[in-house]
Amino acid sequence: MPKIDKEVPSVLRPFLFHGLDLRWEDVPEAVATCCFCDRESKLFVNKQTGQWNCRVCGVHGNAITFIRSLFEYSSIDHIVLEEVALERKVSPEVLQRWGFCQSAIDHEFLLPGFSLTSTEPRLDNLYRWTKAKGGKRRLYGTATMDATLFGMHLWDPAKPDVYICEGPWDAMALEDALSKHKWMEDGELHRTIDPEKSLLASCNIIAVPGCETFRDEWLPWLRGKNVSLLYDNDYPRKNRNNATVPPAGTYGMKKTGAKLHHAANSVKVLWWGDEGYDPQLPDGTDTRDMLTKHDTEPAAPAE
């Protein structure tokens, strides 16, 4: 992830976060090569307001319109898509459905996040899936922007059931599994190639960016729904005072469930064990781990 100097004005941080080579010191307006028309020193950003424009192609707006334009101009090679799908253990098709792509600026992997403050889900964050310390990739939301939900662009208000996963990779793996299975009259689970008969036909699948992140503005969209929370199998931890801290996934589900209590028709949680976690499974085991390990429909969430 690009390192952003502490002295950089906050309105410029979203642009630098996404790899734009922005020259901002000792100039009246920050300037960069336009990432949309590739004309050198033609994209300008106001250092007080964050408003930007290209003097050649005319694309303009604020930080939100910048990430929306960046997402629109970004794409991904099918070979790279297949490689990521194999590594993430999800299908290339589901990666595409969820908006996974590579940045038009620096080819870093991107995934869109959506807010629910209007009548329609809006792309209001663009997450970078990039290497953190130690070399492992993590998802980072655009600097200065609020947390958003993944998968809301696929939302169908007519579907009664909603699965909320901890992170988009779990949600994509769940979509893959549910879209390929159906219940038979004998109560057995069978594979299907008909999406209208699959388990996915009656449910929406979305993801929060973290187990303790749930915004009140998301509640109206879940009113009257049957909601299942599928968070990770986290172990208890010790804090700085050596006190035991409850498992993060369990705590997050309890906290979110309490918010949903008066909005949703029903709330279920994935209770991994007697204390909310299963010590027989590795710390951090998640829905995707279980689905890709067994290639079966996940266990039904507990009440």
What is the three-state SS of 99-121? Answer: CCEECCCCCCEEEEEEECCCCCC
pLDDT at 187: 77
Domain termination site, one of 18, 41, 71 = 71
pTM (2 decimals)?
A: 0.92
pLDDT at 33: 97
Nearest residue to 168 via CA among 209, 129, 202: 209
- Domain co-membership, 51 together with 162: no
Q: Which CATH number is 67's domain given?
A: 3.90.580.10
Q: Which CATH number is 224's domain given?
A: 3.40.1360.10
pLDDT at 296: 43
- Domain co-membership, 32 together with 159: no
Beta strand pairing call for 122-131 and 109-115? antiparallel
What is the residue-level pLDDT of the chain in tens, covering all 303 positions? 566 777 889 999 999 999 999 999 999 999 999 999 999 999 999 999 999 999 999 999 999 999 999 999 999 999 999 999 999 999 999 999 999 999 999 999 999 999 998 789 999 999 999 998 888 999 999 999 999 999 999 999 999 999 999 999 999 999 999 999 998 877 788 899 888 899 999 999 999 999 999 999 999 999 999 999 999 999 999 988 999 999 999 999 999 999 999 999 999 999 999 999 999 999 999 999 999 885 544 444 444
Is residue 18 domain-resident? yes
Is residue 290 domain-resident? yes
- Domain co-membership, 303 together with 195: yes
Sign of CA dihedral 190, 191, 193, 196: positive
pLDDT at 196: 87
Is residue 111 domain-resident? no
- Domain co-membership, 254 together with 163: yes
Is residue 77 domain-resident? no
- Domain co-membership, 302 together with 158: yes
- Domain co-membership, 281 together with 157: yes
Is residue 278 domain-resident? yes
- Domain co-membership, 184 together with 57: no
Q: Are 268 and 228 in contact (CB under 8 A)?
A: yes
Is residue 162 domain-resident? yes
- Domain co-membership, 55 together with 163: no
Q: How many residues are listed for the chain in this entry?
A: 303
How many separate domains does the chain show? 2
Domain termination site, one of 71, 93, 110 = 71
Single-letter residue type at 92? P
Is residue 130 domain-resident? no
Domain termination site, one of 49, 71, 93 = 71
Is residue 1 domain-resident? no
pLDDT at 264: 97
- Domain, as residue range, for 59: 10-71
- Give the CA dihedral 82, 86, 88, 91, nearest 10 degrees: 60
